[in-house]
Structure 1
């Protein structure tokens, strides 16, 4: 009887052990399956993320620049000037500041009278520079067996420069000649500029020509490249060319003759406008 009970008890324990081992294996298997599912999900997310980055990279420009048809155009207008600006002056020297300044004042007064006789209005005469300079010489001094140079003032120089405007271009040569005769050797002709008093309307015309030029160039390029020109993306104005012509620089009394008149050629002026433009491309 006792043996039968022990046998039944042993069978019961064995059964519990087997059942316990079976549950453990199933639980471990479940953990493995859950881990494998998690790894698969992570790979999909990584793949999706990688695909998204690739799409963004493909959609953006590597350089960040705008693609299109870039052109530069210009508009040029040649015209005659209508205003002359003369830079005239006088120069005098004297042993003292007072004597040099007095001589300069008298010379400038004669110059102004000469200009007024040639119908140059007072408000078209403007002082540009007035200077008084000491003039030096260097002398060698022998003293106690040593030689050295010493600066010594020998006199003073006074210069007075004015700018003169006139719209009577045919009288420019006569104005210069009369000024030289009135002032004498003290006259200084520093330069003549021919310009246009009001360039606004001419600049507008040149700009319209430049804009038309860039459109024409863009159309020709698009035709040759077998594409269609799109809308204007941007347009910028580079510069407006100067409408000034320098005729004479740094002349003095020596260029004039007592008998011959001074020939002055007015010539032509050029106004140039340059623009840069970028047009889109229609695919």
Structure 2
């Protein structure tokens, strides 16, 4: 009798364990909800940026004329002593500057570029070391103006007053003109990008929705190489009128558009 009761108890205990093993996972599954990962604003923006978007590159260019010109003017003197060479060079240089300043040129600016003083040696004797027989002074100044038509007069005045060398005639653009040229080229590039995007989207039967992203590309303003006239002496005729060449300013821009179907 005892054995029978014990067997019944064991069976009941085992049945209870089996029932718990079956029911507990079901209860647990019903109580827990699936965890959905949250999407951050950055992830949402990235997903939006790659969905229904078109990226185009716009190019723009404009041509402008330089509005500034400069020229290097040099004075070379040679005398037996340093004092004589320096004094003579100073006298000629001051006279050149004084005469150039009388020219009615807009935004005329004169500045010093370089100043050199060095000995001149006599190498004629083979048996003796070189001997200093004179001293040279080379003084170079730069004259610039926004009055392009006056560059010929500046050169002629300098040579007539004692300049020994004219070099590096260079055309450039002022900072104000540079900024305007850059903005105008970027505006053309933006319009070009917009026209490209419209053409592509319209051809596919889509509609541009909005601009998502704009990146400024490269803006290129070429540097004009200076013109070299070589040595111009006072007795030579004044150089002909020097005309500047056009400068082409280019710009690019990247734009990402969103579109709807």
Compare the two structures and name the one with the higher helix fraction. Answer: 1
Q: Which residue of 2 aligns with 1:277?
A: 255
Residue 21, structure 1, aligned to residue 7, structure 2: yes
Which structure's CA Rg is the greater one? Answer: 1
1:9 paired residue number: none
Structure 1's 169 and 126: CA in aligned 2 closer, same or farther, altered over 3 A?
A: closer
1:32 to 18, 42, 54: 18
Mapping of residues 1-283 of structure 1, within 5 Å = 15-38=1-24, 66-67=49-50, 68-92=53-77, 97-120=82-105, 124-132=108-116, 134=118, 158-185=137-164, 187-196=165-174, 198-199=176-177, 200-242=179-221, 245-249=224-228, 251-253=229-231, 258-259=236-237, 261-283=239-261
Q: 1:254 to 1:82 in 2, by over 3 A?
A: closer
- TM-score scaled by length of structure 1: 0.67
Gaps of 5+ in 1: 1-14, 140-149
* 1:264 aligned counterpart, secondary structure: coil
Distance in structure 2 (CA, Å) of the matches to 1:32 and 1:256:
119
Over the residues paired in the alignment, what is the CA RMSD in angstroms? 4.1
Change in 2 beyond 3 A, CA 1:225/1:36: same
Contact 1:91/1:188, CA 8 A, preserved across alignment: no
Gaps of 5+ in 2: 124-128
- Relative to structure 1, the CA distance from residue 41 to residue 257 in structure 2 (aligned partners, 3 Å threshold; closer, same or farther) is farther
SS of 1:29's equivalent in the other structure is helix
For residues 96-150 of structure 1, what are the alpha-carbon distances to aligned partners after superposition, in whole Å with 9 as ceiling and x for unaligned? Answer: 54344323322321321331243247x732324333354688x9xxxxxxxxxx9
CA 44–221 in structure 1, closer or farther in 2 if over 3 Å, else same: farther
For the 8 Å contact 2:74–2:138, the answer to whether it is kept is: yes
Cα separation, 2, equivalents of 1:47 and 1:133: 91
Pick closer, same or farther for the CA change 1:165–1:131 going to 2, 3 Å.
closer
CA spacing shift, 1:109–1:74, aligned 2, 3 Å: same
Q: Is the 8 A contact 2:160 2:234 kept in 1?
A: no
Q: Label 1:36 to 1:127 Cα distance change in 2 as closer, same or farther (>3 A).
A: same
Query: Which has the higher mean CA deviation after the structures are superposed, 85-94 or 20-29?
Result: 85-94
1:23–1:128 Cα change, 3 Å: farther
Superposed CA deviations along residues 45-92 of structure 1, whole A, max 9, x for unmatched, are: 99956xx57x98xxx79x979322222223322233333233333344
- Taking structure 2 as the reference length, what is the TM-score of the superposition? 0.72
| Matched-pair contact (CA < 8 Å) for 2:67–2:171 | no
